[in-house]
Amino acid sequence: MSAHAHGTQHFDETKRANIKFSAEALTTIENLMKRYPEGKSKSALLPVLHVAQAESEGWLSAEVMDYVAELMGIQSIEVFEVASFYSMYNLRPIGKCQLEVCRTSSCWARGAEDVVDYISKKLNIKEGETTTDGMFTLKTVECLGSCGSAPMLQCGAEYHENLTEAKIDALIDRYRSEGTRKNYTDLNYTNSK
Amino acid sequence: MSRKLLLTHDNVPNLHTIDVYRSKGGYASVEKALKKMTPEEIVEEVKKSGLRGRGGAGFPTGMKWSFLAKPEGVPRYLVCNADESEPGTFKDRYLMERNPHLLIEGMITSSFALGANTSYIYIRGEYFYVSRILETAIAEAYAKGWLGKNILGTGYNLDLYVQVGAGAYICGEETALLESLEGKRGNPRIKPPFPAIAGLYGCPTVVNNVETIAAVVPIVNDGGDEYAKIGIGRSTGTKLISASGNINKPGVYEIEMGVPVEEFIFSDQYCGGIANGKRMKACVPGGSSVPILPDYLVCKTATGEDRLMTYESLSDGGFATGSMLGSGGFIVYDEHQCVVRNTWNFSRFYHHESCGQCSPCREGTGWMERVLHRLEKGMGNMNDIDLLVELAKKIEGNTICPLGDAAAWPVAAAIKHFRHEFEYHVLYPEKVKDSKHGHKEPIMPVKPAPVMA
């Protein structure tokens, strides 16, 4: 996969036929759908898409969306219209670690623009780009509710707050040495019931 | 010292576990409500308390509850709005992270009062790690019999679930939240019908903010009258304020309604004054949607009275010289911050977050963003400033939901109070090319000369 590759342009039957989520993910999806009254399991779509994204290298292709529709017994368009509405769903490939820097007012007043510049120079990528090794994507996002600990960034489910250059260096080093994808969700997430 | 009702045991280690929470008197309101009170009595106490919606609108909670339709054989729902996405606001996250059982307790007591047997907490997707804290706490509550079938042997059943969103400011609007909870795009619904009549799955539903539901716990424990003793006038009880921006001590503070704004900003008990010894330039007291105030209108009203942290005092003077308490997202800006750039920042936010359903908002927010961007870059002209005022007027009141208003007000207020700074950007394009021009040459607000009668 090239780092700058765009999302699948056309639905591919062969790719679709080969999609299969892990048993753990499928159980989670099943449990999620049980949290709503009978006949209302479509309600689970948002959390299910987080699971789907975690199972699909961090992004939702047309084939994955179609697979989710089948799992949930709804139309593909119902999945696509939701996936394209919410900012946490990626409709094209991203790096293993997407660094999402908050750019809204409180973070801006405390140096968010400097954070973006610093990461951009350090990783040699602009906003929206992915490093050639496919490790990091740099993105700016709107308020993440961390205004009292600005500036900040999110990577997967982790919040990194009160950022300094040293902190950014340390987190990038750690992510690089771990080398794993950082997702918004983990599986077995339905531990309440 | 200010009384605390929600952050009372804030510093107790492991408060997020049910045993520690119980040892501090947790779940007492559930016992009292389910064993000794009728649902109507609880609603009555909430009415007496004067509690107003803590998400931003400030609508009386008891009244909202009393609107809930109760048709025979139709389920009712309580949905907690934990979408917290108003820029400058992070109090609900703080509360849920440290004290998840307080929210769960409030959900049980409130669900009982409303006759709901299934309730949901809708939390923004970015707070995934907080949703895990809630899920764990809910599992503990089930294990100890506070949730599930026949709670405390009273025959009352309640299932409580968490649902994560996926990144959309608009889902904080209650009907968009319900759409999202139903697995759809977050497009706000046309009202009426209000959720109290037709909400989740078309059933009667109450949607309340996290802090509102948490406040039901002390109200039931101590009585609505006791709660109403705190505060001033129609601003009763305590309020969580999220303080951010260029202050010494950003963070979440629980205040008694009525604390003077000056004390809140400058005392060491709260924000601790402006960071790095600078001057205060402006303040947004209630989240990004409320009008920005210039330094001279922050601590005093236009008539020279002390400005207080209450719904009424912060809105004193209307939109001409006042603002709003809103969600309590209190952002302070120092002299180096450029108001034009900040206004562009807010406009970009609203453009990004507009759901696209209504043309005035979908097109208008983008237009405002582009005009503000060129002004900020020194590429605008004087007509652009009036164009923005016109645009704001044309968006306001012309959309299904309040996002249009929320996008328009900050722009209108910024131009009203800081017009000279906008004009400066037109007059000195070379100086403002650098995005940090405010750091080199601070521009302070200019207090208008008093008009002789």
The per-residue pLDDT for range B354-396, each reduced to its tens digit, is 999 999 999 999 999 999 999 999 999 999 999 999 999 999 9
Q: Provide the pLDDT confidence category of residue B158 given band limits of 50, 70 and 90.
A: very high
The pLDDT assigned to B156 comes to 98
Residues of A in contact with B177 (CB under 8 A): none
Residues of A in contact with B435 (CB under 8 A): 113
Average pLDDT value for residue range B311-332: 96
Say yes or no for a CB contact (<8 Å) between A145 and B89.
yes
The pLDDT assigned to A7 comes to 52
Of A50, A113, A149, the CB nearest to B164: A50
Task: Decide: A92 and A131 in contact? Cβ < 8 Å.
Answer: no
DSSP one-letter string for B58-103: --BHHHHHHT----TT---EEEEEE---STT--HHHHHHHH-HHHH
Q: Which position has the higher pLDDT, B450 or B51?
A: B51
Q: Provide the pLDDT confidence category of residue A189 given band limits of 50, 70 and 90.
A: low
Percent of chain A's residues with pLDDT above 90: 90
Say yes or no for a CB contact (<8 Å) between B85 and A154.
no
Distances (CA, A) of B236 to A57, B60, B106: 50, 11, 18
Of A42, A142, A192, the CB nearest to B142: A192
> Is the Cα dihedral A121, A126, A132, A136 positive or negative?
positive
Residues of B in contact with A113 (CB under 8 A): 435
Terminal-to-terminal C-alpha distance of chain A: 38
The pLDDT assigned to A10 comes to 84
Residue range A152-172, pLDDT digits in tens = 999 999 999 999 999 999 999
Chain A: nearest CA to B222, how far in angstroms? 30
The pLDDT assigned to A191 comes to 47
Residue B439: pLDDT over 60: yes
The pLDDT assigned to A3 comes to 39
Task: Decide: B314 and B325 in contact? Cβ < 8 Å.
Answer: yes
Average pLDDT value for residue range B332-344: 97
Say yes or no for a CB contact (<8 Å) between B136 and A191.
yes
Average pLDDT value for residue range B220-228: 98
Residue B1: pLDDT over 90: no
The rounded distance, in Å, linking the Cα atoms of B26 and B17 is 11
Correct CATH for B232-334 of 3.40.50.620, 1.10.3810.10, 1.20.1440.230, 3.10.20.600: 3.10.20.600
Domain A13-83 class, CATH top level: mainly alpha
- Three-point CA angle B104, B106, B112, nearest 5°: 105
The pLDDT assigned to A187 comes to 67
* Domain boundaries defined on chain B: 18-229, 232-334, 339-440
Q: Provide the pLDDT confidence category of residue A4 given band limits of 50, 70 and 90.
A: very low
Q: What is the ipTM of this complex?
A: 0.95
Say yes or no for a CB contact (<8 Å) between A35 and B85.
no
Residue range A116-153, pLDDT digits in tens = 999 999 999 999 999 999 999 999 999 999 999 999 99
Structure tokens at A71: 């799992």
The pLDDT assigned to B34 comes to 98
What DSSP element (H or E) covers A116?
helix A112-123
Q: Which of A72, A89, A106 to mutate to probe the B interface, most B CBs <10 Å? A: A106
DSSP-derived pairing of the beta strands A136-141 and B231-232 = unpaired
* Domain boundaries defined on chain A: 13-83, 97-178
The CATH code of domain B18-229 reads 3.40.50.11540
Structure tokens at B169: 């400011």
Average pLDDT value for residue range B308-329: 96
Lateral strand order in the sheet of B148-151 = B148-151, B156-164, B118-123, B77-82, B205-209
The rounded distance, in Å, linking the Cα atoms of B433 and B148 is 61
Structure tokens at B429: 């394009």
The CATH code of domain B339-440 reads 1.20.1440.230
Q: Provide the pLDDT confidence category of residue A188 given band limits of 50, 70 and 90.
A: low
Of A43, A104, A190, the CB nearest to B183: A43
In three-state form (DSSP H/G/I as H, E/B as E, the rest C), the secondary structure along B133-168 is HHHHHHHHHHHCCCCEEEECCCCEEEEEEEEECCCC
Say yes or no for a CB contact (<8 Å) between B125 and A86.
yes
Domain A97-178 class, CATH top level: alpha beta
Residue-averaged pLDDT of chain B: 96
